[in-house]
Amino acid sequence: MRPSAPLPLRLSAAPFTVYEARAASLSAARLRSSDLSTAGRLLYLPAGWDFELRGLSRALSAATPGAWISHVTAAVLLGLWLPSWFRGCRELHLSKPKVLPPVRRQGVVGHTVLAFDDEVMDWDGIRISTPARTWLDLARLLPLEDLVAVGDQLLRQPRPGLEERVEPWATVPDLKAMLQRHPKLQGIVKARLAAELIRPGADSAPETFLRLALTAAGLPEPELQLRITAEDPFSPAADLGYRAQRVAIQYDGGHHLTREQQSRDNRRDETFNAAGWRYFKFNADDLADDFRGAVRRVSAALHAR
């Protein structure tokens, strides 16, 4: 048997649609070759391809006109934080407007939804729900605190030089406008509660959970990204704290284990301590305790001042 002609390079490394195959002049017989498999209607996978979410999402959205990547898949592609049980999931979430037939593909979770044109965007060649719409779609899937953490991340100011964007993914008015547009969406009550709890300034989900633990215990709302000298943008900053009581709080995640980050942390810690602040550092052990011990220590410090 004559071996199949090599695939064009761009089609040999990632999933592709039948439209891309036709544009590359691949015959129907070539598409039935053993070095290709189908991933449902109009979609092909090259042999040896290792699962890669972005490439498969791009091909899936292209093979499904009028549909877009949404929910958990959109959150992963946008780099949003998700609870551990969603990480590594190989099911793709795809939304369609109600005028189109429902999604029926193996490995695809289909959603039939009402969405406005400006709630879907083209991102890196993928039709995908906007960050604000993705947050709203997650309301039916996530617990309240996790939904707040995702909302905090949307409001976070990107780090210069480390991220391609220079503006936050969304604002509180963006999220509240989404709530007004979809008053009957499943999960809307939870989303409304979350919108009232979302704050700009948290750099990670554990910081959000720590803030929520403090306020749930009846403590005042902490200031986020608290600088020793409020008006000085170069002044050392703690993740959160209470300026009037001179109490500063830091959550140390995994990135704090590098030597460079530890050096910066030590300089920050020394500055707060030298200025006479009560300074607390918490980590994953405190998170595993749901910050109960952390709340007791911070509460005692606030009442001692």
Q: Are 58 and 187 in the same domain?
A: yes
pLDDT in tens, 130-149: 999 999 999 999 999 999 99
Q: Are 71 and 153 in the same domain?
A: yes
What pLDDT, on a 0 to 100 scale, did the predictor assign at position 217? 97
Question: Can you say whether the dihedral through the CA atoms of 254, 298, 155, 113 is positive or negative?
Answer: positive
CA 268 from centroid of its chain's CA atoms: 28
Q: Are 130 and 120 in contact (CB under 8 A)?
A: yes
Q: What is the DSSP letter of 36?
A: E
Q: Which domain holds residue 219?
A: 205-304
The answer to whether position 1 is within a domain reads: no
What pLDDT, on a 0 to 100 scale, did the predictor assign at position 43? 67
Q: Are 75 and 172 in the same domain?
A: yes
Query: Which one of 197, 216, 233 terminates a domain?
Result: 197
Q: Are 154 and 40 in the same domain?
A: no
Written in H, E and C, the secondary structure of 211-248 is: HHHHHHCCCCCCEEEEECCCCCCCCCEEEEEECCCCEE
The answer to whether position 243 is within a domain reads: yes
Number of domains in the chain: 3
Looking at residue 279, its amino acid is Y
Q: What is the pTM of this model?
A: 0.83
3-state secondary structure of 123: strand
pLDDT in tens, 6-37: 777 776 667 767 667 677 777 777 777 777 76
Q: What is the DSSP letter of 81?
A: -
Look at the block and give the residue holding tokens 């109960």: 292
